[in-house]
Amino acid sequence: MANQNKIPGYSYGTSDVPRAPLSMSDLDLLKKTVLLSEEDVKALRMSRDVLEDQVEEILDVWYGFVGSNEHLLISFSSRKDNKPIGDYLQAVRKRFGQWILDTASANYDQKWLDYQFEIGRRHHRQKKNKTDGVDATDHIPFRYIIALVIPITLTLKPFLANKGHRPEEVEKMHTAWLKSVTLQTILWSYPYVNSGDF
C-alpha cells in the first residue's frame, strides 16, 4: 500500500472507506467462479516485480487509449465546456498507477474488498467527482466499465514479457490479470445493479 499523502484520494485501508456490502465468503465464491486460484495469486505477485518500474509506460498506453476516444475522455471532462480537466486526470492517473501495484499484490483481504466497493462508487453517480472535488460528468456508464476489461488486459501482456520470463510464465501472469480484473469489475458493478439483484 502506498503512502496516502502522495496519492490524492487514495484511501485504501483507511477508516474513510465503508465496509463492503459483501462478505469474505461472497468474495471466495466469486474467486471460485472466475477460476482465480492460488497459482494465479502467485502469478499476480510475480507480475508486481515485472510491472513496478513500468507503471508510467503502462499508464501512457491506457491514457492514450482513453484520450483518443471522446466517449471515454468525456468522463474526465468539465460539464461546462466538455474540456478535459487536467488536474483530475493527473490525480486519477496516480491512483490508477497504484491500482496496478495493488492488483499485482493480490491481497484479497477485507481492506481490499472494501476498497473495490469504494472504487465502484467513485465511477457511479453515487460518488463520482466527490473524491477530487471536480465538476466533471457525474457518471461513467456501466457498459464502459465492463468494456474496458479488454483494452486494459490485452495491452498489459507486452509489459509482462519485458523482463525475460519464459512464455509460459508470461501467459500465467496475463491469465491471472484477466481473472483479477474481471473479479474487480464485477465488484465495481455493485452500485449499478438494482438492490437485491447483485
pLDDT reading at 2 higher than 80: no
Chain length of the chain: 198
pLDDT reading at 4 higher than 80: no
Q: Mean pLDDT throughout 8-19? A: 96
| Centroid of chain to Cα 25 | 22
Pull the grid cell for residue 159.
509489459
Q: What is the pLDDT, as a whole number, of residue 33?
A: 98
Q: Mean pLDDT throughout 12-23? A: 96
Categorise residue 3: left if φ over 0, alpha if ψ from -120 to 50, beta otherwise: beta
Q: Facing residues of 78 across strands? A: 136
Per-residue model confidence as pLDDT tens digits over 138-194:
999 999 999 999 999 999 999 999 999 999 999 999 999 999 999 999 999 999 999
pLDDT reading at 5 higher than 90: no
pLDDT reading at 3 higher than 70: no
Q: Hey, where are the domains in the chain?
A: 19-192
Please provide the CATH number assigned to the domain covering 19-192: 1.10.490.10
Per-residue model confidence as pLDDT tens digits over 70-86:
999 999 999 999 999 99
Q: What is the pLDDT, as a whole number, of residue 161?
A: 98
Pull the grid cell for residue 1.
500500500
Q: Mean pLDDT throughout 103-120? A: 98
What band does 102 get if pLDDT is binned at 50, 70 and 90?
very high
The pTM for the full model equals 0.95
By three-state DSSP, how is residue 78 classified? strand
Q: How far apart are CA 191 and CA 198, in angstroms?
A: 9
Name every residue whose Cβ is closer than 8 Å to that of residue 174 and which is 6 or more positions away in sequence. Answer: 153, 156, 157, 160
Per-residue model confidence as pLDDT tens digits over 36-53:
999 999 999 999 999 999
Per-residue model confidence as pLDDT tens digits over 114-132:
999 999 999 999 999 999 9
DSSP tag of 181: H
CA-atom Rg of the chain in angstroms: 17
pLDDT reading at 1 higher than 90: no
